[in-house]
Amino acid sequence: MGDRWTLLLVAALLDGPRRFGELGSAVPGIATNVLTSRLRELERDGLVMAVPYSRRPLRVDYHLTSVGAELAGALRLLAAWGGTVDDTHGPRHGACGTPMEVRYWCPTCARMDGEDEDIRV
């Protein structure tokens, strides 16, 4: 998932299946050989599935698998975070401009990291 273009391809497929040329248009700047390589890697990893719509010549639509579709939430969070980043001060709260902080939260105990001494990494 860390390769260049991979998340952009997954994001392009969130709206539904696309053909090779449509993916190339949806991700401007990606070379066709890189697009082919990334799609093969995503298929191998079980995130994308190629579904034939023509046998002669062989043509396919690319679909996200259920595992690939689960990335939608993470991609939306990354996109929202990316839209709030100030390169000099990091992400800021949109309503008041305060720099944001990351804190760990335990949903079982309903406590945040730092509230007790029993935190393990």
pLDDT tens digit string along 71-86? Answer: 877 877 776 676 655 5
Sign of CA dihedral 65, 68, 72, 73: positive
pLDDT of residue 82: 67
C-alpha distance from residue 57 to each of 20, 49, 67 (Å): 14, 18, 29
pLDDT of residue 36: 95
What's phi and psi for 92, nearest 5 deg? Answer: -130, 150
Strands 58-64 and 85-86: unpaired
pLDDT tens digit string along 55-69? Answer: 999 899 999 999 888
Topology (CATH) of 6-69: Arc Repressor Mutant, subunit A (1.10.10)
1 vs 45 pLDDT, higher one: 45
Q: Which of 4-8, 23-27, 101-105 has the highest mean pLDDT?
A: 23-27
Name the E strands within 1-120. Answer: 18-19, 48-55, 58-64, 85-86, 90-91, 105-106, 111-112
ω before 57 within 30° of 0 (cis)? yes
Identify whether the C-beta of residue 23 lies closer than 8 Å to the C-beta of residue 4: no
27 vs 105 pLDDT, higher one: 27
Q: What does the alpha-carbon distance between residue 9 and residue 14 come to, in Å, rounded to a whole number?
A: 9
Domain parsing of the chain, residue ranges: 6-69, 87-121
pLDDT tens digit string along 21-50? Answer: 999 999 999 999 999 999 999 999 999 999
86 vs 19 pLDDT, higher one: 19
Q: How many CB atoms lie within 10 A of CB 77?
A: 10
pLDDT of residue 121: 41
pLDDT of residue 100: 74
